[in-house]
Amino acid sequence: MTILGILITSYTSASQCDRACLEDIADQYLKAMVAHDAAKAPFAENIIFTENTIKLPLTEGLWFTSSGLGNFRIYICALQTGQVAWVGAVKEHDKPLILSLRLKVVNRQITEAESIVIRDVDEENLANFEITAHAFSETLDPSERVSREEMLRIPELYFDALKILNDRDVPFDDDCYRLENGMLTAGTFPGAPKPPPGMPASPKCRNGEISPMLKTIYTVHPRRTPVVDEERGITWGIYCFNHRGLASVEMPDGSIQPTYFNTPNTMPVSEIFRSKNGKIRGIWGLGSAMPYGIGDGWIGPVYQ
């Protein structure tokens, strides 16, 4: 190898951020946020920061109100693109909330910070995250992994199923479960509590025909899956659920039922899919209703 080649290789090795590096930078971000001091994390001068799709300075939002970290966290690393997602419990004025965070790292500096903050959290549902978090931190055996391209197909198949109200093409595992802001809405897992009385829940993820009640969702757009962790079989993305404001829907038995969103809103959801052998084993969905058409804060509003 030439001297120039050695120098290039050395520079690439020194500047590349591996899993340990990405996780350490995520930890620095969280410690700086809790300390309310952006100087304690390696931010680039041109840092772009959003909280719940709104661009803010690093002194505002959760950076102003955070008071500590909670009992669980997971890391999702995309080594190819230098990105890391951190999902866990954070305290705001000592009250627990859920933070789903994405950081883009270039030359070991944070150039993008995107956060979804769920403040209205049922504290009893936090236990569901704590019980399932360990599974999101497991490294898959190479034989259990699929390609990055195949992993990117999973969210698309999942959200496309809403268009036809049928999930026959979604690769669910028999042991799949789904948590929405911590509430179990499909499937089960060891130690899972029963859903509260009257709350919608399915005993499994795959149902074939999806309830017409989900016609309430007009579109899921825009969709973005920027963090793909092949080693752990996890993707992190932001997907906007757009509700036009249907007052009612007709059910298969002919009855007319009121919808769960009868006024327009957009819900940017941080959706984390965990798969094994190409099949979905666990889903965490984290989102809050916002003004209709707001978009995700990064690739424009819904209508553009």
* 286 contacts 273 by C-beta, under 8 angstroms: no
Give yes or no for residue 156 having a pLDDT over 70. yes
Q: How confident is the model at residue 62 (pLDDT cuts 50, 70, 90)?
A: very high
Q: Mean pLDDT, to the nearest integer, of 152-178?
A: 96
What is the pLDDT at residue 234? 98
Q: For the whole model, what pTM was predicted?
A: 0.92
Is 99 or 191 the better-scoring residue by pLDDT? Answer: 99
Query: How many C-beta neighbours within 10 Å does residue 30 have?
Result: 20
Q: What is the average pLDDT across 122-144?
A: 94
Please give the structure tokens belonging to residue 262.
């009868």
- The answer to whether 130 and 182 have CB atoms below 8 angstroms apart is no
- Calpha distance 302→284 (Å, rounded): 23
Query: In the structure encoding, which two tokens stand for residue 191, read together?
Result: 């130690």
Predicted local distance difference test score (pLDDT) of residue 301: 76
All domains of the chain in start order, with CATH: 3-129 (3.10.450.50), 130-287 (3.10.450.50)
Show the DSSP H helices in the chain as ranges: 3-15, 19-35, 62-65, 126-132, 148-164
User: Which pair of structure tokens corresponds to residue 3?
Assistant: 């001297």
Cβ pair 255, 151 in contact under 8 A? no
pLDDT digits (tens, 9 = 90+) for 207-244: 888 989 999 999 999 999 999 999 999 999 999 999 99
**pLDDT digit string, tens, across residues 91-122:** 999 999 999 999 999 999 999 999 999 998 88
Identify the CA nearest to 42 among candidates 135, 110, 125: 110
